[in-house]
Structure 1
Amino acid sequence: MIIFIDLILHRPKVYRHVLSNAINPETVNIQHLLWKLVFAYLLLDSYRSLLLRRVDNKSSFYESSFLICLKVLISVLSANAAFILSFAIAAKCLLNEVSRRRDIMLGILISSYFKIFLLAMLVWEFPMSVIFIVDILILTSNTMALEVMTESSTTRCIAVCLIAHLVRFLVGQILEPTTFLTQLGSLVHLSSLFRIA
Structure 2
Amino acid sequence: MKCVNCKAVADEYIECELMIVLIDLILHKPKAYRHVLFNVLNHESTHFQGILWKLLVGFLVLDAYRSLLVKKPEEEWGTSMSFSSFFWIYRKMLVDVFLGNYMFLCSFFLAVRSLLKTSARFSRFRDLLLAILISSYFKILLTAMMVWEFPTAVIYIIDLFVFSSNTVALKGQIIYTLQFFT
Range into which the TM-score falls when normalised by the shorter chain: 0.7 to 0.9
Q: Which amino acid aligns with 1:92?
A: R
TM-score when normalising by structure 1? 0.71
Cα distance in 2 between the residues matched to 1:11 and 1:105: 19
> What displacement does 1:41 show?
0.6
Q: Tell me the alpha carbon deviations over residues 30-77 of structure 1, each in whole angstroms, 9 at most, x when there is no partner.
A: 211111111001100000000011111447668621111111111111
Contact kept? 1:37, 1:109, Cα under 8 Å: yes
Q: Which amino acid aligns with 1:19?
A: L
**Aligned residue for 1:138?**
162
Matched, 1:3 2:21: yes
**Aligned residue for 1:76?**
97
Q: Which amino acid aligns with 2:90?
A: C
Helix, strand or coil at the partner of 1:64: helix
Helix, strand or coil at the partner of 2:123: coil
Cα distance in 1 between the residues matched to 2:115 and 2:41: 23
Cα distance in 2 between the residues matched to 1:143 and 1:95: 16
Contact kept? 1:10, 1:141, Cα under 8 Å: yes
**Aligned residue for 2:11?**
none
Number of positions where the alignment pairs a residue of Structure 1 with one of Structure 2: 152
Q: Which amino acid aligns with 2:88?
A: L
> What displacement does 1:27 show?
4.3
The unaligned stretches of length 5 or more in structure 2 are: 1-18, 177-182
Which of 129, 133, 140 is 1:116 aligned to?
140
The unaligned stretches of length 5 or more in structure 1 are: 153-197
Instruction: Report the CA distance shift for 1:96/1:113 in structure 2 as closer, same or farther (over 3 A).
Output: farther
Helix, strand or coil at the partner of 1:25: coil
Q: Which amino acid aligns with 2:71?
A: R
Cα distance in 2 between the residues matched to 1:150 and 1:141: 14
Contact kept? 1:114, 1:137, Cα under 8 Å: yes
Q: Tell me the alpha carbon deviations over residues 160-179 of structure 1, each in whole angstroms, 9 at most, x when there is no partner.
A: xxxxxxxxxxxxxxxxxxxx
Identity %: 49
Larger radius of gyration: 2
Contact kept? 1:23, 1:103, Cα under 8 Å: no
Answer 1 or 2: which has greater helix percent: 1
Which of 98, 109, 130 is 1:106 aligned to?
130
TM-score when normalising by structure 2? 0.76
Moved more, 111-120 or 21-30: 21-30
Cα distance in 2 between the residues matched to 1:112 and 1:102: 15
Helix, strand or coil at the partner of 1:127: coil
**Aligned residue for 1:89?**
110
Cα RMSD of the aligned pairs, angstroms, is 1.9
Instruction: Report the CA distance shift for 1:140/1:151 in structure 2 as closer, same or farther (over 3 A).
Output: same
Cα distance in 2 between the residues matched to 1:96 and 1:29: 32
